Amino acid sequence: MITSKTRTMSSPSEPVDYSQMAKDGVISSALGSSAAVARALLSPEPVGFLWMIRSAFSAAVVAVLVGLAITDYVSSYTLRLACAGLAGFAAPEVTDFALSYLNKQFQKKLNEEKPNAKSRAKKRR
């Protein structure tokens, strides 16, 4: 007699609530950007308006991405918001570092190209 094991189908998972996800994204974005703006306003160094806009934008984007990324790993709602806010708080420094690194690499490439351009100009004469 041959018996086969039958598998029972599990119930489908709960549907994704996009409105709640959007609400969480807006809250974490507001937390991250407000932390960045508050930090800039309380900073002893003078900062420009464009720096504040850039830091608030980067903080908002990072906070949303972190908030979405940790949803499956952290079950506590308040801990998720805290993680997103802290990530947004650190985002302006990471953005400044990345921009300065890219600027140095760009300047390095330009300096490598300038001697070649001058030698080409001398050859043409």
Q: Give mean pLDDT, residues 91-109.
A: 88
Distance CA 20, CA 28 (A): 12
* Segment 53-67 mean pLDDT: 83
**pLDDT digits 0-9 by tens, 13-52:** 666 677 877 787 777 777 767 776 777 778 788 878 888 7
Distances (CA, A) of 22 to 17, 18, 19, 67, 90: 9, 6, 5, 11, 22
Choose the most confident range, by mean pLDDT, from 5-9, 14-18, 98-102.
Answer: 98-102
Whether the CA torsion 92, 98, 104, 107 is positive or negative: it is negative
- Give the H or E element holding residue 112: helix 77-124
